[in-house]
Structure formats: C-alpha cells, structure tokens
Amino acid sequence: MLVLLKKGVSETGASDIAGRLRMLGLSVHRTDHAGQIRLGAVGDGVPVQWDKVREWAGVEAVRPIPVPFKLVSRAFHPHDTLISVGRCTIGSPQLALMAGPCAVESEAQVFTVAAAVARAGATVLRGGAYKPRTSPYSFQGLGEEGLKLLRRAADAHGLAVVSEVLDSALVPQVARYADILQVGARNMQNFALLHEVAHAGKPVLLKRGLASTIEEWLMSAEHVLSQGNAQVILCERGIRTFETYTRNTLDLNAIPVVKELSHLPVIVDPSHGTGIRNKVAPMARAAIAAGADGLIIEVHHDPDHALSDGPQSLYPQQYQELVDQIRTIAGVVGRRV
C-alpha cells in the first residue's frame, strides 16, 4: 500500500508512522514528491487493518499500488530517478553513453578503446572481466586482472566503469573496481545475485532476460529496490524470438512502456540487440528517438581479432560518427550529449 502523509508532517511524525507500519510486519520504503512524504508499505500476506491506518495522526490517505512491482512503479515514486555516476547523471537530459570492448583482452586494447570512446563523448567505459559464454571453451575473461586494467584505463581518460558480475561471491571484488555493477541477461532472475549487488551500495545495470516479459524484468528490479538500493538502470538488450536474421530482436516498444510504468532510467544495448555491426547505429539512433536515457555499445579497435563479439563491435571511427548523429537527434527530443 501507498501511505501518503500530510504535508508539513514532522520528521519525527513520519518516523513514528514508518515505525508503526514496521511493527505490523511490513517493509517500509520512503520517497518524497512535491513536498509530500510517501511511504511504500509492502508485505505479502501480512494482515493489516488499513482503515485504522487511515485514522493515524499525520496520515492523509492510503492507496493500493495497482501493480506487482511496487517500489519500481511511478505510483510509488512519480518523478524520474536520477543516478549520478562520474560525469554523467543517468536519467537526466544528458544521455548516458557507455562504450568499450565486450571483453578486456590486454592493456593495449583497453587503453586504446578507452581513449577512443572518451574522445567521442562517452562517459562510462564498459568491459567484461568475467564473461558468461555459451561454450566453456570460449574466452572467459581475465578476471581481477581485467578489472584492474579497466579501472586504470577509465581513470586515465576520465571515465566511470561498468562491468558484469556473474556470481554473488564476486560482488565485493567487482565493486572494488567498477562504478556500476552489471547483471547480465542470463542472471536477470538470479535473485540471490540481485540481493547481493543491491547490498554493494552501487548503481546496478539490470539487463532484460533473453525471453523475459517487461513485468518479469521490472519484478527483478523490484528485488534490488526491496533491499534498499534504488539506483537501478534498466537495459533493453533484445529478446529471443523466432527471427534469425539478427542475433536478438531489439524491443524498442519497451522504452516508452517502461518509462510510463516505472521511474527508473532505461538505456539500450543495440550491440547485443542486433549482433550485426552495420545494424547497431540505426537501432541506436532509433532508441534515442524513442526516449532511451542512454546507450551501451561495444567498440573495438580491431574487431576482426576480438576474443568476444567482434562481429557486433563498432570501429572507433564508426562510434565517433554515431555519437555525432546521436547529438543531433538528442537536440530534437530535448536531450543532450
């Protein structure tokens, strides 16, 4: 339920109401909107006499939240969530441009790519140190050494870092080097991992699952928010359909749908969404036109010899050209690079 407090209620009064709700066995989460304190009181199967709660001093109204993703919903938190990472505030008019290699392969590679994407206008360096691969014989990443290289390259070029964490046990290590913890499509419903990354106290980039509905995706985000971490960035990266001409089907419908349902920022991954280098730029442009808050794109200086996802990685010059195009589109839709 959503408990709306009367405007002007004191912090002591608000704390008292929250405490009484917790004594009823509810989990209580607070947000403020238009000068009013809003308490999301959630608890599956907890019997509460809400008519009596309505009569408490300081309570203006009690309303149901009509969707299962309570804390993720705009009913609970009407205004857009803004997440500051490095030089970018994700969800603001400034577009979040994340770019870099699929996998960290060497010092020379990651420093070369970091310099190129920083020149183009990116503010976040992406790169995998631990790689979830379909084949156990494919390159699995450099592990902690890859994280160290990623951090050094980012710092050298004024970039923040986003990198994927595959396992709950790896969360402290990845959090030591990365500014944003990425949960990949295969782990979208790994609830133990979602809880662990929530407790790391850093922004979480949550990719949509391979064949997940929008509601399932938002419910996974709810797991993170329910643990007290509201810094979740949703990432549409394409879903698996019967189509075989592209790697996945990039669901641009999801952008306006999620922006209406949720206050969380949404970015798009056209690299995995298409899997084909010359399809990345058109879908990136379309994503910004559709209202995405940013892009995460794979860039490699020598994609023909990349150890992971070379066919979908842009050359640095292609990325520069794309950012120039995005800058034009951004101005039309009230955003900026």
- DSSP letters spanning 293-311: SEEEEEB-SSGGG-SS-GG
Which pLDDT score, from 0 to 100, does residue 130 have? 92
Domain ranges of the chain: 2-63, 83-332
Phi/psi of residue 284, each to 5°?
Answer: -65, -45
Q: Is the pLDDT of residue 134 over 90?
A: no
In the structure, what pLDDT confidence band is assigned to residue 138 with cuts at 50, 70 and 90?
Answer: confident
Q: Is the pLDDT of residue 234 over 80?
A: yes
Inter-residue contact 69 to 217 (CB < 8 Å)? no
The CATH architecture to which 83-332 belongs is Alpha-Beta Barrel (3.20)
Which pLDDT score, from 0 to 100, does residue 135 have? 87
In the structure, what pLDDT confidence band is assigned to residue 245 with cuts at 50, 70 and 90?
Answer: very high
Which pLDDT score, from 0 to 100, does residue 281 have? 98
Average pLDDT over residues 156-184: 97
- Model pLDDT for residues 246-301, shown as the tens digit of each residue: 999 999 999 999 999 999 999 999 999 999 999 999 999 999 999 999 999 999 99
Answer CATH for 2-63 from 3.30.70.1140, 2.70.98.60, 3.40.50.150, 3.40.50.1820: 3.30.70.1140
Using CA of residue 27, residue 180, residue 182, residue 142, what is the dihedral sign? negative
Which pLDDT score, from 0 to 100, does residue 131 have? 85
Average pLDDT over residues 137-151: 93
In the structure, what pLDDT confidence band is assigned to residue 140 with cuts at 50, 70 and 90?
Answer: confident
Give Cα 202 to chain centroid, integer Å: 11
**How is the chain split among helix, strand and coil, in percent rounded to 5?**
40, 20, 40
The whole-chain average pLDDT of the chain stands at: 96
